[in-house]
């Protein structure tokens, strides 16, 4: 088993995605980085919003910060395919390792949220992860908004109580 196969398996990539190249940057400073370059099989088709498999129109280069590899920062790079949908629009394919527009992998975001959940201050989380605190606040606000939208508050309003009540209001 070679290192590209190993990293593909470790990232949980499934066909047509695979790690094509691995590089390690060492600029002589204390910061060393692992860069994983992800690609897809030539001739791959990706589903549009209706589920129809569409050919690749072109690609756009994207980068995401992933969990550290030992003490080294790790980044994923990919020429993300854009497809021409059945209605003629050109859209970027969603990658399975990240949510659109994040800049982080889902595992990175899950780790950041786990640290916050354990009552670590956001500035300290940012320091541990080696990112700007505002980026941590942005991902935190995204996931909190998602959780609020998923909450069903109908049972609270049906009871006739508000957040400070200890008994039913008549």
Write 111-119 long-range contacts (CB < 8 A, 24+).
111/67, 112/136, 112/139, 112/140, 113/139, 113/140, 113/143, 116/140
* pLDDT tens-digit series, residues 81-132: 999 999 999 999 999 999 999 999 999 999 999 999 999 999 999 999 999 9
pTM attached to this predicted model: 0.83
Give, in degrees to the nearest 5, the angle at Cα 134 between 129 and 139.
75
> Residue 166: is its pLDDT beyond 70?
no
* pLDDT tens-digit series, residues 135-146: 999 999 999 999
Query: What integer pLDDT is reported at residue 169 of this predicted model?
Result: 53
CB 104 within 8 A of CB 98: yes
Higher-confidence residue of 76 and 169: namely 76
Query: What integer pLDDT is reported at residue 31 of this predicted model?
Result: 77
Query: What integer pLDDT is reported at residue 167 of this predicted model?
Result: 57
Query: What integer pLDDT is reported at residue 163 of this predicted model?
Result: 63
Tokens standing for residue 13: 């990539």
In degrees and rounded to multiples of 5, residue 9 shows phi and psi of -70, -40
pLDDT band at 159 (very low <50, low <70, confident <90, very high): low
* pLDDT tens-digit series, residues 20-46: 999 998 776 677 899 999 999 999 999
Query: What integer pLDDT is reported at residue 153 of this predicted model?
Result: 73
> Residue 160: is its pLDDT beyond 70?
no
pLDDT band at 165 (very low <50, low <70, confident <90, very high): low
> Residue 170: is its pLDDT beyond 60?
no
CB 67 within 8 A of CB 110: no
Query: What integer pLDDT is reported at residue 164 of this predicted model?
Result: 67
> Residue 151: is its pLDDT beyond 90?
no
> Residue 19: is its pLDDT beyond 80?
yes
């Amino acid at each position: 088993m070679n290192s590209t196969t190993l990293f593909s398996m470790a990232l949980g990539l499934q066909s047509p995605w695979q790690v094509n190249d691995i590089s390690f940057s060492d600029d002589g400073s204390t910061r060393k980085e692992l860069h994983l370059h992800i690609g897809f099989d030539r001739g791959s088709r990706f589903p549009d919003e209706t589920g129809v498999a569409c050919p690749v129109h072109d690609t756009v280069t994207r980068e995401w910060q992933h969990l550290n590899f030992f003490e080294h920062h790790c980044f994923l790079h990919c020429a993300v395919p854009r497809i021409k949908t059945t209605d003629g629009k050109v859209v970027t394919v969603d990658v399975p390792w990240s949510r659109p527009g994040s800049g982080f992998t889902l595992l990175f975001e899950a780790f950041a949220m786990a640290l916050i959940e354990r009552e670590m201050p956001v500035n300290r989380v940012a320091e541990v992860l080696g990112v700007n605190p505002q980026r941590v606040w942005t991902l935190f606000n995204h996931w909190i908004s998602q959780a609020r939208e998923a909450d069903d508050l109908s049972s609270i309003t049906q009871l006739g109580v508000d957040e400070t009540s200890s008994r039913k209001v008549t």
